[in-house]
Amino acid sequence: MALTIDAAFAARNFEELYGYSPEGVWSAPGRANLIGEHTDYNAGLVLPFAINRRTFAAIGLRTDGTVRVASEGFHGVIEVDFGVQSTPALEGWSAYPLGVVQVLSELTGHAVEGFDIYLASDVPTGAGLSSSAAIECAVAIALNDIWDAGLSRSDIALAGQRAENTVVGAPTGFMDQFASMFGEPDSAIFLDCRSMDVRAVPLGLGDFEVLVMDTQEKHSHATGGYASRRKACDSAVDVMGVSTLRDITTDMLDEAQQKLDEETFRRVKHVVTENIRVENAVAAFGARDFEAIGELFAASHASMRDDFEISTPALDLAVESSLEAGAVAARMTGGGFGGAAIALVASAQVPEVMSAVTEAFTAAGYQPPLQFTVVPSQGARRDI
């Protein structure tokens, strides 16, 4: 029988490991992004939702400045003495939870008095579903409670991003943390990354389900393609003399084409057109116009494949084979260079689409993707 990862599981394992009961258990979900990719760090629009897979953080208090962290997914207990060094060198997976401890302490001026942390998660890692934001937000919301720091959900999301940028070293935006903090059942989160307005958009999926197809091609945003895409966007901002790519309207695209090299222009074109697709998708979900959603997802995927160049042949195959088998909409989700694609599929057709995708992968000589459906769910919270 599959292991049930929940708050009680995290509390039990905490007690077994550390020999006393935790102060509490907090959790935060991963996310799937419906549309709006690589727009967050360009002050653009995004439409993610929190998924029904979460990271649980059981936390107990110490008084000696030592932070110990262990995780169901990794061996051993990592121990860091914040009492001796306020910014200890943090490496590997523990940089996510411990980076948040460090950043929250900096932000609130609260000294780290010490904790024991036990993490348990059913968010797959490296799948483009933001297992990292789930860890950051679970630990951050817990510390905000424990320290009575009074940070808002937006502040906590931004603290998670800061930990990822400065401690982990991945130059990511803040979409994932906002989805994890603001998620609501049956809804997507529409975030304007310029005004920072955030609003739940009821999805009314009805008989449709969101199928995740995780190619299991692992990616890291701390290195490689993600950072280089971000650099290209920043250089376009300089050349165009604007503050962010959000300031580039569609009628400025001709000018952009003249001023930018061919590749940078395509990066900009993706971002500008993706923002428009997000706005249209919000309207289409509101009207339950699944045909329009299918077209918007298709245009978004093509833009990521051809202009932003962050898709992979396996992600393309997941999208194409799910659509052929009857999905009404499909696109890769997340930062790209591996990870997952999502498809909107009528509930009754989910098994059929899943086996068609598996067959297509096997025929192409790829390892079949890990497939499961996800449900828009509640954001970060205290469970126990």
Interface contacts to ligand GLA, rule CB under 6 A: 33, 37-38, 40-41, 130, 172-173, 175-176, 221, 334-335
In the complex, the smallest distance separating the C-beta of residue 339 from ligand GLA, rounded to whole angstroms, is 8
In the complex, the smallest distance separating the C-beta of residue 37 from ligand GLA, rounded to whole angstroms, is 4
* Phi then psi dihedrals of residue 44, to 5 deg: -100, -155
Q: Are strands 77-81 and 24-35 parallel, antiparallel or unpaired?
A: unpaired
Which residue lies nearer to ligand GLA by CB, 53 or 68? 53
Specify burial of residue 72 (Cβ count, 10 A radius: 0-12, 13-18, 19+): middle
Which residue lies nearer to ligand GLA by CB, 271 or 360? 271
Q: Which residues contact 1 (CB under 8 A, 6 or more apart)?
A: none
Q: Which residues contact 84 (CB under 8 A, 6 or more apart)?
A: 65
Which residue lies nearer to ligand GLA by CB, 112 or 140? 140
Active site residue 251: no
Half-sphere exposure of 264 (CA within 13 A, CB side): 19
Going 303 to 307 to 310 to 316, the CA torsion angle's sign is positive
In the complex, the smallest distance separating the C-beta of residue 172 from ligand GLA, rounded to whole angstroms, is 3
Please say whether the beta carbons of 131 and 123 come within 8 A: yes
Among 376, 50, 91, 63, smallest CA distance to 210 is for 376
Which member of 176, 234, 261, 307 is catalytic? 176
In the complex, the smallest distance separating the C-beta of residue 148 from ligand GLA, rounded to whole angstroms, is 29
Which residue lies nearer to ligand GLA by CB, 40 or 122? 40
**Residues labelled as active-site residues:** 176
